[in-house]
Structure 1
Amino acid sequence: MSKSPVQGRNNSDSDRRRRYEALVDELYQDVFRYAFWLTRNRGIAEDLVQETFLRAWRSFDSLQSEKAAKAWLFTILRRENARQYERYRPELVDIDDVSVADEGTPEPDNRQNQVELHQAIMRLGKDYRDPLLLQVIGGFSGKEIADILDLNNNTVMTRLFRARSKLKTILSPDTGAEDAGEDLTDKITD
């Protein structure tokens, strides 16, 4: 009996593991950042990222190009988040029993702006929110977003334009869309 098939399989297993670990090292922060933006909870985001990478390991052989790995992982993460959201049942609390603690943040205006921006983004419809987050948080191009969401590139670009317009209107309803032109990338990633 020859040992060469076993040796070949071990080499391919170690190569697979090495490639996977390199992928995790390279993309972990991007995947975590996107998960945190979706959940706004560090613990849930960590669990979501862990499940994403576990699912990625299980189907790592289906990844056809290392260049598509980030989009592939974001797709897995979005689907896993949807699965968790379907199972999530929030605990209801009587509002009279809750006290609000002072966070003690040094820059309350900046924190308030971030909260308002996050709330405004979450008010957008899913069709507008997903492409915007993929572009701003994920750093994907319009074409990459189109591939991830299985849409036409022109549709993605239209949705991105409309998402930004809606955000400007939500954030500055009195001044009009043209006066609210701060760069969203800077505000979201702060």
Structure 2
Amino acid sequence: MVTFFRNKNAKSSVLTDMATKQLRYDSLVRAYHVEIFRYGYWLVKDKQVAEDLVQETFLRAWKSLDSLKDEKAAKSWLITILRRENARRFERKQFQYSDVEQETIEDNVTLGLEAQIERTEIRSQIAKLPEEYREPLLLQVVGGYSGDEIAELLGLNRNTVMTRLFRARSQLKEALETSSNIRGSRNG
């Protein structure tokens, strides 16, 4: 008869490893939850869908936390997971889109009516940009990524990213000027 003995040191080592992973994960969530949600919201333009995407992102992050070797790359790693989760969303089901204006996220700062209208217009015009221009622009503006980081995240050449950023800003500027002119001619 073979007898197996439990190694108490192995048990405490496993518990220590689990506690360390939990601390690492908690730190990751605290540090990046707001930014990941903000990016998710800009990507999908729906608060509930963005919340679901962020939840799925952090669930996948928990499952593969051991694969994150460089803590400095955590934000990029999470953005990549979120983008993949968003792509999976379309593989799973087709959504019914409505013409109802989406709920907006308000910062803690109270804005005047004019500033709120301006923000809504900017968001609306960004949402109308083709995805190939919108995504790099959002990564730069909302995510704070550099051209090199965006290129790595999107799997593109840096020059391609810089061209798309230039075109996105140009198209946005033109759309905002056109919109402003139309509003001005109605009011004056």
The two structures share one fold, judged by TM-score above 0.5:
yes
Task: Please state how far the C-alpha of 1:85 moved relative to its aligned partner.
Answer: 4.0
Matched, 1:90 2:69: no
1:60-94 per-residue CA deviation (whole Å, 9 max, x = no partner) reads 111121110001111111121222245242166xx
Task: Please state how far the C-alpha of 1:53 moved relative to its aligned partner.
Answer: 0.5
Unaligned runs of 5+ in 1: 99-104, 177-190
Structure 1 residues 168, 157: closer, same or farther in 2, change over 3 A? same
1:11 maps to which residue? 16
Match of 1:77 among 76, 79, 82: 82
Determine the C-alpha separation between the residues in 2 that align with 1:91 and 1:75: 25
3-state SS of paired residue (2:69):
coil
* Count of residue correspondences: 166
Determine the C-alpha separation between the residues in 2 that align with 1:79 and 1:174: 34
Q: After TM superposition, list the pairs within 5 Å mapping 1:1-190 onto structure 2.
A: 1=5, 2-86=7-91, 87-90=93-96, 107-173=112-178
Instruction: Kindly name which structure, 1 or 2, has the bigger radius of gyration based on alpha carbons.
Output: 2
User: Do the aligned residues in 1 keep the contact of 2:43 with 2:135 (CA within 8 Å)?
Assistant: no
Determine the C-alpha separation between the residues in 2 that align with 1:67 and 1:80: 22
Structure 1 residues 118, 91: closer, same or farther in 2, change over 3 A? closer
Structure 1 residues 111, 123: closer, same or farther in 2, change over 3 A? same
2:103 maps to which residue? none
3-state SS of paired residue (1:151):
coil
Structure 1 residues 151, 90: closer, same or farther in 2, change over 3 A? same
Structure 1 residues 158, 106: closer, same or farther in 2, change over 3 A? closer
Normalised to the residue count of structure 2, the TM-score between the two structures is: 0.78
Per mean C-alpha deviation after superposition, the further-off stretch among 151-160 and 16-25 is: 151-160
Per mean C-alpha deviation after superposition, the further-off stretch among 4-13 and 126-135 is: 4-13
Determine the C-alpha separation between the residues in 1 that align with 2:79 and 2:172: 23
Determine the C-alpha separation between the residues in 2 that align with 1:117 and 1:81: 23
1:187 maps to which residue? none
Structure 1 residues 91, 33: closer, same or farther in 2, change over 3 A? closer
Normalised to the residue count of structure 1, the TM-score between the two structures is: 0.77
